[in-house]
Chains A and B, each alone.
Chain A
């Protein structure tokens, strides 16, 4: 009989990423609700001390798989270590983060374990032991509740920045278990040759608290400078619509929408974006949406909490100065 809730933490460069705390907090909530123990698994190299940072967030057991070959995430090696551990202990539920690496790892792990996996979930609930996960389809045009009724473990990957991080309890204790690591040559077929830090130093759109985004109304690549300046004042990342990316004004990594990134910042400022349905799907779950557009009939206004009909090249510089005033 499978039992226990597990979360698979995520580290990069020996540092736990925020999603690890989100997963541990959510795991604790589900464990308390169902009277099950919670375990957190950390995979890396010389990661023991860093792994302990999760303890105040609630795991009863902390599994640490520590090996020089595991310093950098690679899909085969991490899948091998985790699949062996999961087969040995048979947890009932395994949660990962739906980050860049987590989406891949969760999918590979689920296939190896021959179980189902709910990708990129925004909430979880338990019903008689069944993990019911809510996830967007069509980039958020509809939402599905999904579950794995018979296959175990029940697996899901949680969208980053959606689950709340609980207040840490410094009094908590956890049993720390070292995981034996045995890797076969096949597990090491993929290597990380180079890690190039993003030179821009800006926060990825999927992790950004504020986003200023531009569309066809920007007219040129150079004009994005006005958005960059506003973004600089409020600490936002700059996004773009598909039209702006296809016109070559911005990199494809900046694209928000159904064929780009799905984002959920606290504030999304859409400048010169008419609001094609595939764009609205990608940013529709932002907490507050502002639209600035010349056309009062632009569909983007139907999604916006606050709209300004006007010329973005006149409005955005005003916003920059006004934000400067309140933030200084």
Chain B
């Protein structure tokens, strides 16, 4: 069983996001970078499936600047066997399709039965790389999984997915791409021996050329969707504290305001 897990490095969710002077990107100086939380679920699920099968290989794939190595090493410390780092400035800043193209080229070079991606990255919130990757690899797509069940003979997989007001059980044939959602599992922490071992595990850096891609096919140059500009979220006008001596007065005062001033109920 060969399992791939794609990871992206993103700003920690507690980070303040400020627009840079160019107006199209964010200030990165004080950002703490972490593995995208949804991708952690993918790495964990890959490890669990390998452990359950009693063998196989888990390979993690990441794209981005040198700092991404840290997240790849984290995945190796959790238990992944190998890592591929697409480390090429020409691969950076791509839209979902351009990014998926680079990932697909790296993944096609290794055998795979299952590919995991987080259902979205918590930076650009595009939620498209997994779907685009399934297209480029020509394999079925199972999205936003909170449960993954592999059939006994490992030819089929079932997932549970929550949609508005319902839950779906979906089934596909292998090889398959699965995007992961919170609730699927509780990702393990890297153990100290795990961290020591990770230092010796294979981590291959690849340029676009190594993957058989031209610079124009990936990264910003290969992107169709461009950011024209960033703006801060609309300011909320400052609110008011509801006064009152007792909980009764405050509660009644609030309901009156919602009814008469805000007119929403």
Q: Residues of A at under 8 Å CB distance from B?
A: 12, 74-76, 79, 99-101, 103-104, 107-108, 110-112, 114-120, 132, 135-151, 186, 189-198, 203-204, 206-207, 210, 234, 251-253, 255, 257-260, 262, 266-267, 276-278, 284-285, 287-290, 301-311, 314-315, 318-319, 321-323, 326-327
Contacts and interface: CB of A to CB of B under 8 A. Distances in A.
A24 B190 CA distance: 49
Interface residues of B, number: 82
A131 to B, nearest CB: 11
B166 A138 contact: no
Interface of B: 11, 13-17, 19, 26, 37-38, 95-97, 100, 122-128, 130-132, 134-136, 138, 140-144, 146, 158, 161-173, 181-183, 223-234, 236, 238-242, 247-248, 250-252, 254-255, 257-259, 262, 264-265
A22 to B, nearest CB: 14
A288 B258 contact: yes
B214 to A, nearest CB: 15
B165 to A, nearest CB: 5
B248 to A, nearest CB: 5
B170 A308 contact: no
B226 A143 contact: no
15 contacts: A117-B96, A119-B127, A138-B17, A144-B229, A150-B224, A192-B170, A193-B169, A206-B164, A255-B182, A285-B233, A290-B254, A290-B258, A306-B241, A306-B242, A308-B254
Contacts of A304: 239
A134 to B, nearest CB: 8
Nearest to B144: A100
Contact of A149 (B134, B226, B233, B262): B226
Nearest to A83: B135
Nearest to A160: B164
A119 B225 CA distance: 10
Contacts of B248: 318
A144 B164 contact: no
Given A144-B230, A151-B224, A308-B254, A190 B236 contact: no
Contact of B225 (A118, A138, A303): A118
A236 B125 CA distance: 26
A190 B225 contact: no
